[in-house]
Amino acid sequence: MIKFDEIKRAVLVSIWFMFLTFPIMVIRVNPVEHIVEWRWKNMVLVGIGSFLLSFVWNYLMKRKELGSKEAEAGEETIKISLFHRALNEKKIYLPALVIFGIFTISFPFIFSMYQTTIMVTALIYVMLGLGLNIVVGLAGLLDLGYVAFYAVGAYSYALLNYHFGLSFWIALPIGGALGAIFGILLGFPVLRLRGDYLAIVTLGFGEIIRIILENWNEFSFGPSGIANIPRPPLFGMDLSVHGSTTYIYYIMIVLCVFTIFVVNRLQDSRIGRAWIALREDEIACQAMGIDKARTKLTAFSLGATWAGMAGVMFAAKTTFVNPASFTLWESIIVLCIVVLGGMGSIIGVIAGALVLVLTPEYLRAFSEYRMLAFGTLLVVMMIFRPGGIIPNVRRTYKFESVKNADKS
């Protein structure tokens, strides 16, 4: 039952928000023509909206507190989500994987070219997300300049093709390698830096790359960018736009599967464990004999490799690159993919990329409000589900009871 106190609180909240939003929501000015428009309707909307939302907020907060109290009391026995249980059950996940595989393969035939193009974009972000996942999710290094490596990849294909006529298939590994080299280049100076300093230096690095691309006209053709980059050829055949979109889609699928495979193997390898150890405690990790510098540099360079390859794909897909595609917001979106999906969790990152890229595409009807919704989503997710959509489950030893062992 809603108590009187809560209603009073909600009224106060709505009055506060009506006050807060008054100048920006109600008054609209046009200083050029000296017109001031008063929109009192908005004030009423804000009042009613915040009154109702305050109840929702309180309810969710109460539930959250209840949850954390339970966890403290130890009542919450390791609650593995339904999803993870399904993942461990062969009977469920094998057919699911097959259905999913068939769906992905037949996607370009079921849906229109428009849908396929959107899907290719989403897959590029999956790759970027998985790459950044190595740096942020596994090694715990907050990188806000990830988009720089994406730009390096895209420009390396564009420029190599423009000057030397190199084809896509040669440019793809070169883009990845250049990404890795730039990753090490960034990695060296920041080895000694801690969390937030690292974030700002990487952010600066990203901006430096973008500004150089924008201003060094002789090298990168400035803000106008490079056009007419060829799409990937199929055995020397020139494909129609439709055909090549489908073709790029399949290349992307293969690349994504390859990425997932590699990242998955890396996670359980020696170096992957070293990353996780580094994330958890740097000093303890060094005491165990892990070379901090080498581990950090491999994280940066391996993460950047995927960004470089994704960049080559991006250039091949859009056939046009310019510096405006590589702003700071791009880095932030990729970071959001990783965090929203669940740091360190591969399936989570894939889900995060699909949600964050596809939702705005399909909500074009509300396109004005989508960035607003995006911001809200980030805040709400962090408060009420900080582990991400599909949180990472850490590898743990399970002791099966003696009874079970006897039976089996």
Binding-site ranges for another protein (CB under 8 A): 16, 19-21, 23-25, 27-32, 34, 36, 42, 61, 64, 136, 142, 189-190, 192-197, 199-201, 203-205, 207-208, 211-212, 215, 282-284, 287, 328, 332, 335-336, 339-340, 343, 368-369, 371-372, 374-379, 382-383, 386
* Least CB distance to another protein at residue 18 (A): 12
* Least CB distance to another protein at residue 353 (A): 15
- Cα–Cα distance, 183 to 186 (Å, whole number): 5
Considering beta carbons, is residue 36 or 365 the nearer one to another protein? 36
What are 28's strand-pairing partners? 37
For 269-366, where are the alpha helices, taking DSSP H only? 270-280, 282-287, 292-318, 328-341, 346-362
* Least CB distance to another protein at residue 205 (A): 7
Using only the alpha carbons of the chain, give its radius of gyration: 25
- Cα–Cα distance, 336 to 356 (Å, whole number): 8
Considering beta carbons, is residue 22 or 93 the nearer one to another protein? 22
Residue type, 401: S
Considering beta carbons, is residue 69 or 265 the nearer one to another protein? 69
- Cα–Cα distance, 348 to 397 (Å, whole number): 22
Give the HSE-up count for residue 214: Cα atoms under 13 Å, Cβ half-sphere.
12
Could you tell me if 119 and 249 are in contact, meaning their C-beta atoms sit under 8 angstroms apart? yes
* Least CB distance to another protein at residue 195 (A): 7
Neighbouring C-beta atoms of residue 96, cutoff 10 Å: 13
Considering beta carbons, is residue 2 or 35 the nearer one to another protein? 35
The CA dihedral of 57, 62, 67, 72, to the nearest 10 degrees, is 130
Could you tell me if 183 and 344 are in contact, meaning their C-beta atoms sit under 8 angstroms apart? no
Considering beta carbons, is residue 320 or 374 the nearer one to another protein? 374
Considering beta carbons, is residue 114 or 197 the nearer one to another protein? 197
